[in-house]
Structure 1
Amino acid sequence: MSKRTADAAGDGPLKDRDRPEKMDVDDATKDMGEFEDEFEDEFESEDEILEAGVDGRPDVEREAEEKDAMEVDQGTFIVGRNKLEAGQTLAPDPTTYEMFHSLSTPWPCLSFDVLKDGLGDNRKTYPATMYTVAGTQAETARTGENQLMVMKFSGLSRMNKGDGDESSDDEDDDDDEDADPILESKTIPLKSTTNRVRATQLPSQEAGRPGTTLTATMSESSDVYIHDITPHLDSFDTPGSTVTAQQNKPLSTIRAHKAEGYAVDWSSTVPGKLLTGDNDGLIYVTSRSDGGGFQTDNRPFQGHTGSVEELQWSPSEASVFASASSDGTVRVWDVRSKARKPAITMQVSQHDVNVMSWSRQTSHLLATGADDGTWAVWDLRQWKTSSDSPQPLASFDYHKEQVTSVEWHPTDDSIVAVAAGDNTVTLWDLAVELDDEEAKGGAGVPTDVPPQLLFVHYLKDVKEVHWHPQITGSLVATGEEFSVFRTISV
């Protein structure tokens, strides 16, 4: 980020009342001797003197210096090192973004999920299109004020770098920068605000057709709503298509929880299998039947002494999941256990563990984010018994406010995105190591900025950040508004 001030350096021109009085040249030369023209050898004609300007330099040279003086106060704002002064604001440096768009919704959407689509994987062309689902946080609790929003973002163009930009690998996208972003939405009325929403896609029964897209919404009322949003997604790209009131109704409502919660996750290995956790520390498993209905096991998994803040199914083992809690622990469970107790309990923080992410590429890596601003990476192979006290593979206390979201890159197990209460999204490369000069704290090497920190993105009140699984290196974050961006560093 850049910080900007409006101050300019340099002397201004003389005012009329400040100009010296005219001298009598004859008298002056008697006292000063022979008068020498300092420009006599440099300029041969009056035209050249006029072109040079009042201070003897070409106008272009002088204007360039004045421009530099105006920009002398611009610099990089580093969270934890710099403070904004009165009148200063943060502005993104456009040269660091491949793509950057801000999109607003009627109410803040503090939880969302990115939906996989049928437009292809590893997309790099512009303008880009993506689909998301989000739950609102309306100021009033009146019926209909809060909604589940199914959204289509289109016209997401690359940043306009100006003439002479040769960084693009695509030769056929010369007009990519001219597109305007468009947000289309279909809404489903909800009875209360959304604490967390997650989506899954069931496999299609017909070859060549997209599967059914389901969402699970953890609400402030403690109910969990499961919706089929496939008709809403189809309506974006089918002219004349409408969504009926019946299609807005939930397929199922889970009423097992007696307290509200924030933890929910769909299994990536067992279609339609859902985990939900609440502030009482209880975790329930809901399964989808062959007939398409949902059944919740009324025997909860319990063991946490605080609220369940995050749940994640193992990306490789169908019966295993992990939970993170305000009691500072992460626990690993097996749904086949009759005792309904955790197989492993690990104290990972003295503070609330708010969020967690299980690497899809390397299934023994788990990232956690805590209330003190620290986030860490753990090797689950070291968590063999609850009596062990392994150290994290990496730990960073760069953020000074609570970590609100953490997520591994979908295809690179060294890249992690983190969102925090200091209004920033940070990108990290765990593969970066200190060289000899940096390790010794050489001149010009900042000691309070980890070398693994790749990028800092500012978003007021940011809550969640997610990578797009099909648009290479692109992220979506939500806070006061939605940010859709891709940096040139990832």
Structure 2
Amino acid sequence: MSSSWWSCTRKVSKDGLTIIRATPGMRPPLKKVGSREHGDKSITKKYINNPANSDFCIFRSTTTGNTMSKRAAEEFERGDAPLKGGERVGKADDDVESLEFEDEFEDEFESEDEILEAGVDGRPDAEREAEEKAEAMEVDQQTFIVGRNKLEPGQTLSPDLSTYEMLHALSTPWPCLSFDIIKDNLGDNRTSFPATMYAVAGTQADAKREKENQIMVMKFSGLSRNERDQDSESDSDGDEDSDPILESASIPLNTTTNRIRAHQTPASDSSRPPTTLTATMTEAGQVLIHDVTPHLTSFDTPGFTITPQHNKPLSTLRMHKAEGYAVDWSPLVSTGKLVTGDNTGSIYVTTRTQGEGWATDSRALTGHTGSVEELQWSPSERNVFASASSDGTIKVWDVRSKSRSAAMSVQVSETDVNVMSWSPLTTHLLASGADDGVWAVWDLRNWKAAPTPGASSKPTPVASFGFHKEQITSVEWHPTEDSIVTVAAGDDTLTLWDLAVELDEEEARGGEEGVPPQLLFVHYLERVKEAHWHPQIPGALVGTGESFNVFKTISV
């Protein structure tokens, strides 16, 4: 006996009888399913192999607490309902549960313990799956490396939050090219959440709105830990969830801040907070020194008022003849010692005097043939600093030298050297970042004085990485881990590195091509310009770009 298979559409009649209208077609593949709830009806489906002269199939619909209506039973008794293959006209039982439908091919594909269902739309699964595969989003099996691979139009990046302990984005009225983190009295080695931190930054307003620029003294609070899976263990059960808050106290400026750095002078009375000073290199070529202690005090002292006098600079230094980007405070001179450099290659040292004034050397330190891009005081010698320049060199200076020339000059790049960081823990190591995307680590013990004045030696770096393909915009050593470095670049990434990582030959073969084993983490931050470690919250980082990102990864 030949038979055909049917795709069915369901209709539930008022008397509880469920009618399936069948359409001839191919045999649908069968799936095991359970009974499904439809309102107050528990409906169990059985697809029946139908003879060619049948255009309906009927199956049982059981309504909790009710039985089939008398009218429905009478219809079966009279034979008004269409007959099934092999079914005879006879008296139906009053109870709908006694209805049975015979299927002569039943044993071929179902049993009493199985409930089978055709494809959702009555089509074979293979046909439907082929269509879904054709319509599915194309998946690129190649590893996407942030900063290396470019996004296509309409694509966006989404962070994997499982790799962060903390991640927050906070916006300011205008982007900030530069910022610095300010130490507080909340304690060192803080690991509890929500976290709080303080910072100072300078804005970059649009060209026609320069008067909206400002120095922003900021408090970040409510920096909570990322939500974790319920199964994950945490020793910080007391941590509270909260929303991040950015509070700011502003000092009006009418020019863009190129670089800003903070310095703290301990108070003579230990019960009082330290004096916090900032030095701002502006686009106008001036160096502004402010005392932002009142602004910091206002965050945690209700009723404290910031007066116009508090917003005035302690000193405005006008020795530079052009704008500059290089500024640094000596960490070893608590009263305040400042070095600044400009685009003409001139470097000046300014010292705070006993009368609360500021004295700048009358003669500039010169020797670079390009702009001075970065300055760093030695963490161990109070009279020594290093300068990095667009001429591709790093020079080391001793301010006591009567010749006022560099003690050492080293060619470290064929392109501009944009940034530099002197290790605070291993003081013979210096990290540099250049315009070609290469950042390197140098051992100062291998640097030798140039044989002739003005000449530069070319030592070999102890480590060099070309992972980034755009200019390096920031580099900084970790304050407590001597092998950890953070690097920011023009490819919109902020990377974390561990110089102590070494892979054996077998491990190296299993790594991603072009990704150094020392690379721990890649964080995406659009137009990132600077990044700094928080000195009191281990592993916490702040980066500035289109917004501020405050985060802590599981890697460091």
Task: Provide TM-score, normalisation by structure 2.
Answer: 0.77
Shift of 1:218: 0.1
* 1:352 lines up with 2:419 in the alignment: no
Contact 2:184 2:198 (C-alpha < 8 Å) held by counterparts: yes
Q: Which residue of 2 aligns with 1:298?
A: 362
Instruction: Look up the SS of the partner of 2:176 in the other structure.
Output: coil
Q: Which residue of 2 aligns with 1:318?
A: 382
* 1:172 lines up with 2:238 in the alignment: yes
1:82 corresponds to which of 130, 149, 157: 149
Distance in 2, Cα, partners of 1:238 & 1:419: 36
Contact 1:311 1:323 (C-alpha < 8 Å) held by counterparts: yes
Shift of 1:338: 1.2
Shift of 1:382: 0.4
Q: Which residue of 1 aligns with 2:305?
A: 242
Paired amino acid for 1:165:
S
Contact 2:203 2:257 (C-alpha < 8 Å) held by counterparts: yes
Q: Which residue of 2 aligns with 1:92?
A: 159
Deviations 1:398-422 (A, max 9, x none): 0010000000000011100000000
Q: Which residue of 2 aligns with 1:280?
A: 344
Q: Which residue of 1 aligns with 2:438?
A: 374
1:463 corresponds to which of 529, 544, 549: 529
Deviations 1:270-321 (A, max 9, x none): 1200000000000000000112211111111110000000000000000000
* 1:255 lines up with 2:325 in the alignment: no
Contact 1:195 1:217 (C-alpha < 8 Å) held by counterparts: yes
Q: Which residue of 2 aligns with 1:6?
A: none
Contact 2:194 2:224 (C-alpha < 8 Å) held by counterparts: yes
Shift of 1:141: 5.4
Shift of 1:143: 6.3
Q: Which residue of 2 aligns with 1:448?
A: 514
Distance in 1, Cα, partners of 2:341 & 2:180: 18
Paired amino acid for 2:550:
V
Paired amino acid for 2:486:
A
Q: Residue 335 and residue 71 in structure 1: after superposition, are their counterparts in 2 closer, same or farther (change >3 A)?
A: same
Distance in 2, Cα, partners of 1:231 & 1:243: 7
Q: Residue 323 and residue 38 in structure 1: after superposition, are their counterparts in 2 closer, same or farther (change >3 A)?
A: farther
Q: Which residue of 1 aligns with 2:221?
A: 154
* 1:423 lines up with 2:492 in the alignment: yes
Q: Residue 39 and residue 186 in structure 1: after superposition, are their counterparts in 2 closer, same or farther (change >3 A)?
A: farther
Distance in 2, Cα, partners of 1:142 & 1:70: 45
Distance in 1, Cα, partners of 2:449 & 2:198: 42
Identity %: 67
Contact 1:80 1:398 (C-alpha < 8 Å) held by counterparts: no
Number of matched residues? Answer: 453
Instruction: Look up the SS of the partner of 2:294 in the other structure.
Output: helix
Matches within 5 A, 1:4-15: none
Farther-moved stretch of structure 1 (80-89 vs 262-271): 80-89
Q: Which residue of 1 aligns with 2:264?
A: 201
Q: Residue 360 and residue 369 in structure 1: after superposition, are their counterparts in 2 closer, same or farther (change >3 A)?
A: same
- The answer for unaligned runs of 5 or more in structure 2 is 1-6, 10-20, 28-48, 54-84, 86-103, 123-128, 452-456
Farther-moved stretch of structure 1 (380-389 vs 356-365): 380-389
* 1:40 lines up with 2:110 in the alignment: yes
Instruction: Look up the SS of the partner of 2:445 in the other structure.
Output: helix
Paired amino acid for 2:288:
Y
Instruction: Look up the SS of the partner of 1:89 in the other structure.
Output: coil
Shift of 1:144: 3.7
Q: Which residue of 2 aligns with 1:216?
A: 279
Q: Residue 22 and residue 413 in structure 1: after superposition, are their counterparts in 2 closer, same or farther (change >3 A)?
A: closer
| RMSD of aligned Cα (Å) | 2.9
Distance in 1, Cα, partners of 2:493 & 2:26: 61
Q: Residue 470 and residue 18 in structure 1: after superposition, are their counterparts in 2 closer, same or farther (change >3 A)?
A: farther
- The answer for unaligned runs of 5 or more in structure 1 is 1-13, 56-61
Instruction: Look up the SS of the partner of 1:102 in the other structure.
Output: strand
Distance in 2, Cα, partners of 1:196 & 1:370: 18
Q: Which residue of 1 aligns with 2:372?
A: 308
Instruction: Look up the SS of the partner of 2:162 in the other structure.
Output: helix
Contact 1:306 1:325 (C-alpha < 8 Å) held by counterparts: yes
Shift of 1:38: 5.8
Shift of 1:110: 1.1
Distance in 2, Cα, partners of 1:210 & 1:20: 86
Deviations 1:35-70 (A, max 9, x none): 4656535x6154xx4799999xxxxxx9xxx9xx98
Instruction: Look up the SS of the partner of 1:91 in the other structure.
Output: coil
Instruction: Look up the SS of the partner of 1:303 in the other structure.
Output: coil
Instruction: Look up the SS of the partner of 2:157 in the other structure.
Output: strand
Paired amino acid for 1:128:
A
Q: Which residue of 1 aligns with 2:25?
A: 21
Shift of 1:242: 1.1
Contact 2:439 2:464 (C-alpha < 8 Å) held by counterparts: yes
Shift of 1:20: 4.7
Distance in 2, Cα, partners of 1:25 & 1:433: 70
Distance in 2, Cα, partners of 1:334 & 1:136: 33
1:411 corresponds to which of 480, 483, 486: 480
Q: Pick the structure with greater CA Rg.
A: 2
Q: Which residue of 1 aligns with 2:425?
A: 361
Contact 1:276 1:285 (C-alpha < 8 Å) held by counterparts: yes
Instruction: Look up the SS of the partner of 1:385 in the other structure.
Output: coil
Q: Residue 222 and residue 437 in structure 1: after superposition, are their counterparts in 2 closer, same or farther (change >3 A)?
A: same
Task: Provide TM-score, normalisation by structure 1.
Answer: 0.87
Shift of 1:89: 1.1
